[in-house]
Structure 1
Amino acid sequence: MTTELSRPQAVRDAAAAAVPAALADLGTLVRIPSIAFPGFDPADVRRSAEAVASLAEGLGIFDSVEIRDAAIPGTDERGMPAVLASRAARNGRPTILLYAHHDVQPTGDDALWESPPFEPTVRDGRIFGRGAADDKAGVMAHIGALRALKEALGEDFDLGVALFIEGEEEAGSRSFAQFLSDNADALRADVIVVADSGNWDDKTPGLTVSLRGNVRFTLRVRTLDHASHSGMFGGAAPDAMMATITLLATLWAQDGSVAVEGMTSRDAATPEYSEETLRDEAGLPAGVEPIGHGSILDRIWNQPSITVTGIDAPSVVNASNTLSPEISVVLSARIAPGQPAREAYEALERHVRAHAPFGAQVEIIDLDLGDGFLVDTSGWAVETAREALAEGYGAASLDLGVGGSIPFISDLVREFPSAQILVTGVEDPHAKAHSPNESLHVETFRHALIAEALLLEKLDARTL
């Protein structure tokens, strides 16, 4: 056991020593293609959950470690397997809930990967592979930090810990709310760490304090009862592709900003972020201009955006001289923090129906809504986390907004209203999460693991 004065240094040393094993275990997890989307083998997600459960059991600190799932509301289906481990707090110490997810995005076109997506490959100080950053690195930051805490303090530390590693975050967390309800007693905590975000850069830690919400749906546009010859009827009968393109164009203003009445923006200051940085991090080539107005981070953090993420239409190889009767597109909108997702959806629906050209029939299906999130930064846990991040990275942390969404956080707030929520992560701006050649910056991971271990030590020393 360490003396009180040596505790933080002992934990830091143990955390640094824990990094190689954590990276090796990360490689094992990355090799499992745990894609929770329909059409992929759910046995791989089960295998991934079993691997994570084995890591949790190997810590030797939990009262229980289980693989559980929950019903998907409104269906007769059950969600993907999650890992739930818990140990009770003692002697007045707080309980911390550590969240990450072990499922991953599909790989997309494998030809775009420079190395096989499920074969972790090290080059240029990074580990490449699907899930290497999002979010199996988050899983291993938790496991590695807990290993360090046990190594430094022994297994009889007083901090309460709940470990919740979800299995379907990338596929929409459809059973998440039910899982929280089913397991509320085991998950209840004073502090919740959601390790599924990013950092300012590969040297500067970030604490995410705002997230945009999301609205996603499939839009069907129909103009004809059946396909017709484009030469015989083109110019008189409107085809669905023409109507779809005309309708979609009304969603954006000339500068590319959202032009949907009722979708709001948030007024909040943002740090300096140059166009050059945007070009580097987003892969924006010379000659292609950024869209929108206001500061660049204001556009990403505080304003709405709309993206067409999929389309069902005749492919180029199957093109024929035909008027298409129906076209379907997937619209993905990001919502400014503070606007309810339902309100934003209603604004989008009104716009789509009001701007359907030529009397086209429009139908909206497969609606998915997720509210944004604003962190209450006044609690003691936020300040404690800032201290741990600064000590772990050797640089002061920045409060970040994120253009992406983690809609299940609103479920955490609803189920555990008194918990303080910290949104952290191991990604840097070049991680390319969801894209080909996703990667983890090894040095950033090292700092993240050390910072989390120091946070655990600080909480173990705190009496509520």
Structure 2
Amino acid sequence: MADTTGDRPGTGDRPGTGDRPGTGDRPGIGDRSDTGAALAERIDTLMPRAKADLAELVAIPSVADPRQFPPEECHRAARWVADAFTEAGLLDVRLEETPDGSHAVVGHRPGPEGSPTVLLYCHYDVQPPLDEAAWNSPPFTLTERDGRWYGRGSADCKGNIVMHLTALRALRALGDDLPVGLKFVAEGSEEQGTGGLEAYVAAHPGDICADALLICDTGNAAVGRPTATTALRGLANVVVTVSTLGGDLHSGMFGGPAPDALAALIQMLSTLRGPDGGTRIDGLDCTGTWTGVPYAEEQFRADASVLDGVRLTGSGSVADRLWARPAVTVLGIDCAPVVGSAAAVPARARARVSLRVPPGTDSDAALAALTAHLTAAAPWGARVSIEKEGTGSPFRAATDGPAYRAMGRAMEQAYGRPMEFLGQGGSIPLCNVLAETCPDAEIILMGVEEPRCLIHAPDESVDPTEIRNMALVEALFLLDYAANH
């Protein structure tokens, strides 16, 4: 059963409220307004360099799939990242091969004695461009249009790489010593989900574990709305195959009584949703609620490009459906294509089904429920086989520690409004590995990837003001966290 009670992200005292930057006698923050202004001014001067760096990175088609792009491109991106962070002041920056064959870029810089340690995370691999004809500019050429910078990886996640670099360069302009110890890792196969870094973390915790882990692969609720992502859905993916005949049959001679495997599959898949289109799977709680920052329906329709007159599926708030409840998606179906199809009753059909799992629900239990539901839904005695493709656990961050308080103050100082909490429908399996490997660390998900970025889609873009402001947030956080640790 989904856990929808107890302490939820977004309830209680929100970091960034109460004693705010510049008020009261909080040590190290009220007396740093001049430093904050100097950082902001320095970051503004660094933005042309940030754009040039992002243009170089976007030009490297670092898709971690050798079936689509040469592996040398990923190695070239890894080398670029290593050189850039060495120049920015990190030490022993090196490429470490992970069990899936990708390279993680790992480095560090010691801080003053007694200072906390912070990990900076990002990934340099990107999604494939998909339909290049659907792009309004070349996917691997950074192109400015209407105030945004377009290109594959401009937001996810090369924009976050540039944000890290800009923050570090701005801090070093104030003096060569950084206020905290730093660890750095850039992943090379995050988009493929092959688990290279997860395995590396478990085997090399000393390279990764820190007091605070900044996982910069998410972003704000909208441009100008400072947000930490505190909940991630997990996943359970299966491939279901339905067989009904020894072979395809002429639909004129046998159609009617002959059991149609594709029709059986369609009927099975239709049972995964209720009349309102919401996910309904036997044995899973599909009634969870979200109490963090809301997601207005009009904003969601715009962000998701929902066509006029088409209704959203499910019931409850958009945030409930997106972050607190299971969500099923049929990712693909193997059957005869329209062009080239014959007048035949299909003997076999299969589908790839993905189930997103909210925090509080065990992903293995969700996989079992999905498998049992599909098996029970098979009509006419059709033979069903279900192959487990993979699972990933959901994640919920603890938000009551000193790093979250420091991040709340930094976001409010940079944006002029309190930090909010957001859920995310996607999965980042690394977060659960980090939570298990570094149990005392605070994990903060943040970054430059707001909804208009269209990550994973054609015309991915980033708003440069988010790179600027999130670089300022990170720099302010490192100062505040050191002063108040």
Amino acid aligned to 1:253? G
- Say which of 296, 303, 309 aligns to 2:325: 303
Give the conservation status (yes or no) of the 8 Å contact 1:46–1:81.
yes
Residue matched to 1:243:
264
- Provide the C-alpha distance between the structure 1 equivalents of 2:375 and 2:277, rounded to a whole number of angstroms: 21
- 1:31 aligned to which of 44, 59, 73: 59
Determine the C-alpha separation between the residues in 2 that align with 1:430 and 1:394: 21
Q: Which residue of 2 aligns with 1:228?
A: 249
2:143 to 121, 133, 139: 121
Whole-angstrom CA distance in 2 between matches of 1:54 and 1:363: 49
Asked if structure 2 preserves the Cα contact closer than 8 Å seen for 1:14 and 1:152, the reply is no
Measured in 1, the distance between the counterparts of 2:431 and 2:194 equals: 11
CA deviation after TM superposition for structure 1 residue 460, in Å: 3.6
* CA distance in structure 2 between the aligned counterparts of 1:43 and 1:314, rounded to whole angstroms: 37
- 1:178 is aligned, of 199, 205, 216, to 199
Contact 2:273 2:280 in 1 (8 A): yes
SS of the residue 2:370 aligns to: helix
The one of 35, 38, 54 aligned to 1:7: 35
2:83 to 48, 54, 62: 54
CA distance in 1 between counterparts of 2:455 and 2:84 reads 24
Q: Calculate percent identity across the aligned residue pairs.
A: 37
Aligned to 1:375: 397
Deviations 1:130-152 (A, max 9, x none): 11111111111111111111112
Alignment of 1:285-434 (within 5 A): 285-365=307-387, 367-434=389-456
Cα distance in structure 1, aligned partners of 2:94 and 2:283: 45
The answer as to whether partners of 2:411 and 2:419 remain within 8 angstroms in 1 is yes
| Contact 1:431–1:440, Cα closer than 8 Å, also in 2 | yes
- The match for 1:167 is 188
For 2:66 and 2:269, how far apart are their aligned partners in 1? 28
Show CA shifts across 1:277-313 (max 9, x none). Answer: 2221111121100111111111111111101112222
Q: 1:290 to 1:5 in 2, by over 3 A?
A: closer
CA–CA distance in structure 2, aligned partners of residues 420 and 439 of structure 1: 29
Letter in 1 for 2:441: A
1:153 to 172, 175, 179: 175
1:452 to 471, 474, 483: 474
1:43 aligned to 72, 89, 112, which one? 72
Deviates more, 1:423-432 or 1:14-23: 14-23
Q: CA RMSD in A?
A: 1.7
The residue aligned with 2:126 is 104
> 1: distance between equivalents of 2:188 and 2:157?
11
* 1:360-384 CA-partner distances (Å, limit 9, x unpaired): 2222335211111111111011111
Give TM-score, length-normalised by structure 2: 0.90
Contiguous gaps of at least 5 residues in structure 2: 1-30
Structure 1 residue identity aligned to 2:237: R
2:451 is paired with a residue whose SS is: coil
Distance 2:50 2:314 in 1: 41
Counterpart of 1:70 (choices 98, 109, 112) is: 98
Q: Is the partner of 1:235 in helix, strand or coil?
A: coil
Taking a change above 3 Å as real, the CA distance of residues 274 and 70 of structure 1, as seen in their structure-2 partners, is closer
Distance change in 2, residues 1:457/1:392 (3 Å): same
TM-superposed CA distance for 1:31, in Å, is 1.0
Query: Whole-Å Cα distance in 1 between the matches of residues 374 and 197 of structure 2?
Result: 30
CA contact 1:252–1:258 (8 Å) conserved in 2: yes
Q: Could you tell me how far apart the structure 2 residues matched to 1:164 and 1:322 are?
A: 54
With 420-429 and 229-238 compared, the bigger mean Cα shift is at 229-238
Q: Which moved more, 1:319-328 or 1:304-313?
A: 319-328
Q: Residues 249-268 of structure 1 correspond to what in structure 2 (within 5 A)?
A: 249-265=270-286, 266-268=288-290
Check whether the contact 1:300–1:402 (CA below 8 A) recurs between aligned residues: yes
Q: CA deviation at 1:270?
A: 4.3
